[in-house]
Structure 1
Amino acid sequence: MILNRHADEEDPQITQIRQSVIALCANFPGEYWRELDSKREYPTAFVKALTDAGYLAVLIPEEYGGSGLGLNAAAAVLEEIQRSGCNGAACHAQMYIMGTILRHGNAAQKAKWLPKIASGELRLQAFGVSEPSNGTDTLSLKTRAVKKGDHYIVNGQKIWTSRAEHSDLMLLLARTATPEEAGSRSAGLSVFVVDMREALGNGMTIKPIRTMVNHSTTQVFFDDMKVPAENLLGEEGRGFRYILTGMNAERVLIGAETIGDARWFIQKAVDYANNRQVFGRPISMNQGIQFPIAKAYAQTEAASLMVQKAARLYEQGKDIGAEANMAKMLAAEASWAAADMCLQTHGGYGFAEEYDVERKFRETRLYQIAPISTNLILSYLAEHVLGMPRSY
């Protein structure tokens, strides 16, 4: 395996986490993922193994049964999952969704949900934000939650709600007041924890969306769904602010995942090139093979530094809007470049399922679009960092 240069400078605890995750992932080789991919099945055994080992609870404080570690630890977990050829998309949401409960939930809510999330008794994998008509324009969402007595009545629809069929709880963003009533587009949005075990069939309907990757994504419909008022997180109308910090953490963690993907592609290409004999010698002797691999490696190392910086600043409590966006964009671009290079290095064999390249190629392509597209990141940087006019 291509080692991380200067790995001795890393926190020994993070290094130990990496080694332990690698050992766990060795129990879930390519054959496991290929079978799931062909059947479009959820990796239940893999997620259970991660949960039992405590890796999905690294960000949950020790008082609630977690490890109480920082974003760097969570990033290391997800990077090594991807670097091992596995797919953390099946469970990564729990890490960043949980933060909204931790930061904005009251004492009773934290005590009710966090210990069970940490132990695996409750799965918090569903994040209901995107809607068919608004895409990334979150402030235009139309799902309404109207308070009636001790409940809110929710009506609307969400799309691209991944893992909804494999989650017990959903973090739901809904409008509790119109922009006119609230005074601005960013006000009037509220966050709820929905117990999907109670809601499914009682106002909630889930419809799977089949895609080019095995991502377990869905549409979710709400028809007079009742949510207890006690499940409102924080203050009514401040939900958009609450989810923003979670979105920054999400982008850093997705950045770490795609760094892991890139390193998997690079290692795969190096191994294949060194062993593939054409015209009586390994193809790795050709600069036409060497240079794209070396370029992908350099691009990945540079992007990794941005991910590390964003995670460090997040742990320091800094505003990392720009850094989180750059980390996600640069890492996703590095992984996509590495994926293309790896497929090209393998030639026709890259399209054969048994090599896993085509599967990982499809999986990493997603992050040019999700959870935020490259163009929107560039627009954000132009406006909020460089002081240029808003372009949309």
Structure 2
Amino acid sequence: MDFLLNEQQKMIIETARKVGGEYGLEYWREIDAKKQFPTEIWKAICESGLAAAALPEEHGGSGLGMLELALIVETLAASGAGSTVGQLFMNNPIFGGVGISRFGTEQMKRDYLPKLVSGEMLFCMALTEPDAGSNSLEIQTFARREGNGFRINGRKIWITGVPQADKVLVIARTQKAEDVKRRTDGITMFLLDRDREGLTHTPIEKVGTNTLTSSMVFLDDVWAGPDEIVGTLDMGWHELLDVLNTERIVTTACLVGTAQLAIELAVKYAGERKVFRGAPIGSYQGLQFPLAEAYAQTETARLMNYKAASLFDSGLPYGSEANIAKLIAGHASAQATDRAMQTMGGMGYAKESYVERLWRDARLFRIAPISEEMILNFISIHNLKMPRSY
């Protein structure tokens, strides 16, 4: 088992570190305050080729893998972006890139992947619903057949990046749940124009991740042509899982980078701050131990995420590893950002210290894109072979 990075991977990390350094902590603080989409850094990410890492070469990608994408996201997060940068990669190289490159038509690949790579097109995915939440098999959005296409009706919630997106990967039932033998049957993915007639959206006020809007999406008799189906009609559930589980890998990467950054900021502050007996507060075990524990959790999540990404790149099952990595990374980022704030005392609560943004943004990812409780359900059932509890 080889834990060493090759020269190409080291170069990718350096490129990500350079781009991230150009748009560091101050940049993210400013656009967070303005609730402004991070247009400039996404343009730089695309121009440097970082968005193309895991996409096929024949459509403008680099032909690398999910491991390289994880390294990129992790490095960008640690360079100042924090966890929000992961959402840019979830929406584009994952929802758009994985969805289209693995399951899209040849026409979709030719038309959209080069524009994704260049940054000309942005994507998002509409899956979660108000009444279904994490139980995606209970979605009610329905695409009824009409002529050679479909009319889609339904509601979606907590959809990230809708206002800027050119295309929305909409997940809908094309067969009623009561009419199928298996709950996983009758689900289809559609790739629709965001400005399609009947598709509207409204923003949700929230605690953090201010640079990417979260929205309610309403689908009222939205037309979808047969050429807009991504993957297999009625049998899209298992294809969707590849999109969702690679999303876990990107989520973990951004949380690992966030935890690393928070720990670095805390250690630096603790090394400079002197309050009692002339010694830096970093010499106190009461501050050292929580940060050391966060560091241990971060390194564990990092390695498990690399394993998940490597398994994906080898065409092997990786769902358990991706979920476990995300669970540990959520704990690590929570511990790191909270204890970094505690280390800084009152200054940790001030926006000028940067930690409060990392803390606010990272908190989301203990709930989304899958909650800790649902990951524990998954481990209990699939890894421990225990009875289903829900």
Tell me the TM-score normalized by structure 2.
Answer: 0.95
Counterpart check, 1:229 vs 2:212: no
Q: Counterpart amino acid of 1:311?
A: A
Contact residue 248 and residue 322 of structure 2 kept, 8 A: yes
**Is it true that 1:84 corresponds to 2:79 in the alignment?**
yes
Q: Does 1:258 align with 2:260?
A: no
Cα distance in 2 for partners of 1:119, 1:357 equals 32
> Matched residues in 2 for 1:288 and 1:120: separation?
46
Secondary structure at the residue paired with 2:80?
A: coil
Instruction: Give the percent of matched residue pairs that are identical in Structure 1 and Structure 2.
Output: 38
| Aligned residue type for 1:59 | A
Aligned to 1:153: 151
The worse-fitting range, judged by mean Cα deviation, of 215-224 and 29-38 is: 29-38
The answer (yes or no) to whether the contact 1:307–1:331 under 8 Å persists in 2 is no
Tell me how far 1:90 sits from its aligned partner.
Answer: 4.4
Matched residue, 1:321: 319
Distance 1:174 1:37 in 2: 33
- TM-score w.r.t. length of structure 1: 0.94
Q: What displacement does 1:173 show?
A: 0.5
Which residue of the partner structure matches residue 160 of structure 2?
A: 162
Structure 1: distance between partners of 2:33 and 2:357: 10
Instruction: Specify the code of the residue in structure 2 equivalent to 1:216.
Output: T
Q: CA–CA distance in 1 between the matches of 2:87 and 2:319?
A: 25
Residue 274 of structure 2 corresponds to 277
Counterpart secondary structure, 1:145: strand
Of 127, 135, 143, which residue of structure 1 is paired with 2:141? 143
* Counterpart residue number, 1:104: 103
Determine which of 277, 296, 299 is the counterpart of 2:297. Answer: 299
Equivalent pairs counted in the alignment come to 382
Q: Which residue of 2 aligns with 1:3?
A: none
Question: What SS does structure 1 have at the residue aligned with 2:22?
Answer: coil
1:170 Cα offset (Å): 0.9
CA contact (8 A) 2:86 2:253 kept: no
1:268 counterpart residue number: 265
Spell out, residue by residue over 1:122-163, the C-alpha distance to the aligned partner (whole angstroms, 9 max, x if none): 212x11100000001101101111121233111111111100
Q: Which moved more, 1:369-378 or 1:180-189?
A: 180-189
Distance 1:30 1:109 in 2: 37
Which deviations, in whole Å up to 9, do the C-alpha atoms of 1:328-368 show, x marking residues without a partner? 10111111111111111111100000010001000111111
1:251 deviation in Å? 0.7
Change (3 A) 1:25 1:352: same
Paired AA for residue 206 in structure 1:
H
Structure 1, unmatched stretches of 5+, are 1-5
Q: In terms of mean alpha carbon deviation, does 171-180 or 114-123 score higher? A: 114-123
Aligned AA (1:260): G
1:350 aligns with 2:348: yes
1:219 aligns with 2:216: yes
> Counterpart in 1 of 2:118?
119
Partner of 1:38: 33
Name the CA distance, whole Å, in 1 between partners of 2:206 and 2:279.
Answer: 40
Measure, in 2, the Cα distance between the counterparts of 1:375 and 1:180.
27
